[in-house]
Amino acid sequence: MIVEVSRTFGDIESKRKDLGGLKGVIVPTPEITTFPITANLDYALLACDGVFDVLTNEEINEIIWETVDYYKSNRKGTNAKPEEYLGMCLNDCVNNILKRSLIQNSEDNVTIILVAFRRFLD
């Protein structure tokens, strides 16, 4: 499957005919989807195509929960405050997804935002 950029804020070469692009093919207008945030929602992850080109939603979810389980089983004996420990866990969730994307030879930007809606480590 070939995935092409459909929205962009840059890429002037793709937009201007005199530079080899096609006017109107790539637009900056975002595609917006809304969904309710409910009590059972654990997290939301926003990532660019460099991540989703090489990892499935299921693989990403598995990486997150494996990281959370590691932190849950190793939190005893740490001097970190609960909010610091949670921050370290979320940081490692993101880093583990990024590393796996690169190991899987992603050839695109790998950017992630992870938003936690509840405390994973409680």
* Whole-number pLDDT of residue 59: 97
* Whole-number pLDDT of residue 60: 97
Q: How far apart, in Å, are the Cα atoms of 72 and each of 30, 41, 77?
A: 38, 19, 12
- Provide the residue range defining the domain that includes 11: 1-32
User: Quick check: is 67 in a domain?
Assistant: yes
Terminal CA-to-CA distance of the chain, rounded, Å?
41
pTM of the model: 0.75
Which residue has tokens 């990532």? 47
* Whole-number pLDDT of residue 90: 94
* Number of domains present in the structure of the chain: 2
Separation CA 102–CA 99 (nearest Å): 5
Separation CA 112–CA 77 (nearest Å): 30
The residue length of the chain stands at 122
Amino acid present at 99:
K
Q: Is 3 in the same domain as 44?
A: no
Q: Is 46 in the same domain as 106?
A: yes
User: Quick check: is 84 in a domain?
Assistant: yes
Q: Is 109 in the same domain as 74?
A: yes
